[in-house]
Amino acid sequence: MFDHRVYNFAAGPAAMPEEVLKIAQAEMLNYKGTGMSVMEMSHRSAAFENIINETKNDLKTLMNIPDDYEIMFVQGGGSTQFAMIPLNLMTKYKRAFFLKTGQWAKKAISEAKIYGEAEVVASSEEAVFTYIPQTTRADYKGDADYAYICYNNTIYGTHFTPGKLPDVDVPLVTDISSCILGEKIDVTKFGLLFAGAQKNLGPAGVTVVIMKKDLIGNAMDITPTMLNYKTHADNNSMYNTPPTYGIYMLGLVLKWVASQGGVDALEAVNRKKAALLYECLDNSKLFKGTVVPEDRSLMNVPFVCPTDELNNKFIAEATEAGLMELKGHRTVGGMRASIYNATPYEGVQTLVNFMEDFEKKNI
Ligand SMILES: Cc1ncc(COP(=O)(O)O)c(C=O)c1O
């Protein structure tokens, strides 16, 4: 039990900026003189329409999204995108390229196989996904409707750098669930980008889709209405009742991101945070990072001690000290610190101090 807020290193749902939570708290009972909570408000009301339009515009500005892209807020999480993408895009050749870089890429591949051919061009599975494979243009053989990558692999702690993006002529599709707004991403390189909100954008329940307008409108005949991007694009994401409170919270987070100086400023802080933690791992005789240095994520940092006993001891003692949710994914073992935008530099510094102290006592 804590009588103060802790440092939360969860992979998602994850830490939110305290300023955002306080604004939500202040506006909870009476949103801007409407006399009601956003939770209680019709999605057809002028007040909510303002919220959704402002949220879209703020995202467009923060990510430099060009006018020929549609921004949609949908439900069903990243996992529903694994089906929506093939249903809407795997329509001409019924075939797409995939880079298998982790569990979330694997899930996208399995789902795509229901609708067509999912061609795995490269994989790092043989090395427990500890690196991002480098591919060349020649690796992408034959016709395909699109190429798919998971930009930041939440579980394994790897991310794509621009030089490793597939060099293809077909639209590039990417899952940016765990890195959106954490680092600069050139939207124009992609035909479709999506992100579940529960890491860098707000609470779970809303999924952001950014899609080139000319890719919309070719869905397979079997596509359910709600899984057709055109449905959401044509109705300003309000074909049915959208996740209103989630969109409001996303809007508050975007205003917070802008107040921090935007994505460039946050990326600079994220680079410093990640460097501090990776330097600690590189200098340690007890802890070891699991990812090759050139592909290390800025957002998710997995690391291990030499034995499970030490891993468990570290997690237990860290939890007692208010450093929460450091247990790694079962396929990697050990620990994982997720250090999204809302984790301040001091949070990472506190973790590093704790690790150094733990090492002194346990080596
Ligand atoms: C990169 C990535 N993609 C997709 C998902 C699945 O998202 P959801 O649980 O919203 O379906 C996750 C969940 O952690 C993720 O990290």
Rounded to whole angstroms, how far apart are CA atoms 8 and 2? 13
State pLDDT tens for residues 212-242.
999 999 999 999 999 999 999 999 999 999 9
Ligand 1 centroid to Cα of residue 363, in Å, is 36
pLDDT at 260: 98
pLDDT at 330: 85
For residue 162, say if its preceding peptide bond is cis, omega within 30 degrees of 0.
no
pLDDT at 226: 98
Residues facing 175 on adjacent strands: 150, 194
Q: Give yes or no: 141 in active site.
A: no
Sign of CA dihedral 126, 127, 133, 138: negative
Atom 6 of ligand 1 has which residue's CA nearest to it? 78
Tell me, yes or no, if the two domains 21-259 and 263-362 fold the same way: no
Q: Using an 8 Å Cβ cutoff, are 325 and 97 in contact?
A: no
State pLDDT tens for residues 71-130.
999 999 999 999 999 999 999 999 999 999 999 999 999 999 999 999 999 999 999 999
Ligand 1 site, residue 203, Cβ cutoff 6 A: no
* Ligand 1 pocket mutation pick from 104, 149, 183 by most atoms within 8 angstroms of CB: 104
Residues across the chain: 363
Q: Give yes or no: 256 in active site.
A: no
State pLDDT tens for residues 198-212.
999 999 999 999 999
Which CATH code is given to the segment(s) 21-259?
3.40.640.10
Q: What is the mean pLDDT of the chain?
A: 98
pLDDT at 138: 98
State pLDDT tens for residues 270-293.
999 999 999 999 999 999 999 999
Residue 332 has pLDDT above 90, yes or no: no
Give 298's Cβ-side CA count (13 Å radius).
Answer: 24
Per annotation, catalytic residue among 175, 256, 273, 327: 175
pLDDT at 225: 98
**Percent of the chain scoring above 70 in pLDDT:** 100
Q: Give yes or no: 199 in active site.
A: yes
pTM: 0.98
Ligand 1 site, residue 196, Cβ cutoff 6 A: yes
State pLDDT tens for residues 154-188.
999 999 999 999 999 999 999 999 999 999 999 99
Average confidence (pLDDT) over 319-336: 94
Ligand 1 site, residue 150, Cβ cutoff 6 A: yes
**Percent of the chain scoring above 90 in pLDDT:** 99
pLDDT at 1: 82
Q: Which atom of ligand 1 is nearest to the CA of 11?
A: 14
Residue spans of the domains in the chain: they are 21-259, 263-362
Atom 4 of ligand 1 has which residue's CA nearest to it? 78
Ligand 1 site, residue 177, Cβ cutoff 6 A: yes
State pLDDT tens for residues 242-259.
999 999 999 999 999 999
Ligand 1 site, residue 223, Cβ cutoff 6 A: no
Ligand 1 site, residue 79, Cβ cutoff 6 A: yes
Per annotation, catalytic residue among 56, 58, 100, 104: 104
Bridge-based pairing of strands 172-175 and 158-159 is unpaired
Atom 5 of ligand 1 has which residue's CA nearest to it? 78
263-362: CATH, from 1.10.3080.10, 3.90.1150.10, 2.40.10.10, 3.90.550.10: 3.90.1150.10
Q: Which atom of ligand 1 is nearest to the CA of 77?
A: 10
